[in-house]
Amino acid sequence: MSAMNAKNLLDLSHTLRALVFLSAGYDETLFFMNKDLRATKQALTSATKKSKAHGTEYYLTSGRLFSRGSNEYLTTGHADEEEEEVSSMGRVALPRVTSIHHTASHAVLAVTGRGLYYWGCIGESFDYLCCVDKPTAMHITGDVTEVDTRFDEMVLVRTDEGWHTLRFVEDKPPKNEEEGCDDMADESDTESVDIADMSYETLQREAEEGMFADEEPAAEGLDGHLTATLLNHSGVISTWYGRHGSLFGVTEDGDLLAFGENDYGQLGLPDREFIPDPTPVDLPIGFIVDKVIVGANSFQNHWAVFIFSGTRCLVAGRNDLGSLGVGGGEVTAPVEIPIPVDAVITNGDTNIFNSSGQLMATGLNNHGMIVPARTAETWTLSVPTPIVLPESTRKVVLGDGCLFVQKKSKKWLGRGSNVGGRLGVDETDETIEEWIAVVDRSVVPTDVERAMIL
């Protein structure tokens, strides 16, 4: 549109301007009055909701959404693709917005009076990204009442018809087709490896050599869109739990359904394969689920699930280290731990249970962080084993191969692996089996699932 045409449009009344855009087939969000596009100081100070995600700030005021900051993944929703940083606040062209949501993969979702819109990074394939610079309307049946983005690779959207999952659909290959084909050829020439069948020692070695390195995608250039799929049985689910593509839905009656990744049987379902729809999990008679905790290990793979009904706890998932506390062997159907469990913390390799005030541990003890003076018998703990803590311990935090405790005096102690100085002390000793004062407190993990207050 030329500058003259744009000026002529701005001279028209709001109603006439709307008719011009509608007759041309454009969305109504393009004919906001000029003053609505400016982020005035009054509009920003009166914002009812403010949020920040991945370096981008968002202000929601009277149904209008403004943004500024990082635009590396086109998350501002209004800036040009070339702008990696936007300093001035601009309005995102949307109908009246009621809520905004962010995903770990840099996608942005907005619930509006006219449905669900998305922009930002919405998909990835063969190291190529699909980034959408402007809000795109999404077809989804029913009015959106809830959006849940807590589950990393899965986004759940609730309407009056039930829960939906959002899925990225690729429209065509990456723009650099020749390079993309080369990548795919290389991929086909390489024997695929199922990490579910790899031993712990192999996983640990591959991790150290960079197999699981978190590398930035090579380039943008992927075209695609998001679609919504209504889940079976989802209308009865009231609460969701999950992590890394494995999800659990709890009904109002305390029944459990699961779907998603199931490489280790962590869904409590016998088939070690992807489960596309919520499927009932067999539980003991009278077991009413009130909480589910999903564990992940240092390789960011989901290994196990802990299903609670009061102090009764069922477990399922990978168990080659005996970390589930029910002896050795694979567990693809929920098995009850033989102790009452009030709480659990996990790093995937080692689990610590609070059993009526006594801390018990299972799993890997290769650095003596649970039981010092380790032997071949205590290298791994396949049954719940008591932990002897320093007096006046008030908090326990589980690290990678090490254990931290905080005393009532606020002093931190640690023991176990000190590789890379992870205990916050001199790196001379790689393993420390006696409690030692932690000098650098920044080494203590801050993950909620790794901390337990006594």
Using one digit for the tens of pLDDT, what is the confidence trace for 136-173? 999 898 899 999 998 867 899 999 888 999 988 888 66
Cα–Cα distance for residue pair 75/135, rounded to 1 Å: 10
Per-residue tokens: 241: 């739990």
Amino acid identity for residue 125 in this structure: S
Work out the angle at residue 152's Cα, subtended by the Cα atoms of residues 207 and 147, and round it to the nearest 5 degrees.
Answer: 175
Distance of CA 156 to the CA centre of its chain: 12
pLDDT, position 328: 77
3-state secondary structure the chain: CCHHHHHHHHHCCHHHHHHHHHHCCCCHHHHCCHHHHECCHHHHHCCCEEEEECCEEEEEECCEEEEEEECCCCCCCCCCCCCCEEEEEEECCCCCEEEEEECCCCEEEEEECCEEEEEEEEEEECCEEEEEEEEEEECCCCCEEEEEEEECCEEEEEECCEEEEEEEEEEECCCCHHHHHHHHHHHHHCCCCCHHHCCHHHHHHHHHCCCCCCCCCCEECCEEEEEEEECCCHHHEEEEEEECCEEEEEECCCCEEEEECCCCCCCCCCCCCCEEEEEECCCCCCCCCCEEEEEECCCCCEEEEEEEECCEEEEEECCCCCCCCCCCCCEEEEEECCCCCCEEEECCCEEEEEECCEEEEEEECCCCCCCCCCCCCCCEEEEEEECCCCCCEEEEEECCCEEEEEECCCCEEEEEECHHHCCCCCCCCCEEEEEEECCCHHHCCCCHHHEEEC
pLDDT, position 55: 94
Q: Are 129 and 136 in contact (CB under 8 A)?
A: no
List CB contacts of 377: < 8 A, sequence separation 6 or more: none
Amino acid identity for residue 107 in this structure: A
Which of 174, 154, 171, 187 is closest to 218 using CA atoms?
Answer: 174
Per-residue tokens: 118: 């998305």
pLDDT, position 192: 47
List CB contacts of 372: < 8 A, sequence separation 6 or more: 415, 433, 434
Cα–Cα distance for residue pair 341/354, rounded to 1 Å: 6
pLDDT, position 21: 57
pLDDT, position 296: 62
Amino acid identity for residue 377 in this structure: E
pLDDT, position 12: 62
Q: How many CA atoms lie within 13 A of 277 on its CB side?
A: 8
pLDDT, position 195: 46
Per-residue tokens: 291: 């909480």
Q: Which residues does the chain have with pLDDT short of 70?
A: 1-43, 126, 152, 172-221, 296-302, 427
In the chain the domains, ranked by start, together with CATH numbers, are 10-173+226-230 (2.130.10.30), 232-388 (2.130.10.30), 391-454 (no CATH)
Instruction: Name residue 279's beta-bridge partners.
Output: 258
Q: Are 320 and 326 in contact (CB under 8 A)?
A: no
Predicted model pTM: 0.74
Radius of gyration (C-alpha) of the chain in whole angstroms: 26
pLDDT, position 342: 95
Burial of 379 (0-12, 13-18, 19+ CB in 10 A): middle
pLDDT, position 124: 81
Per-residue tokens: 236: 């009865």
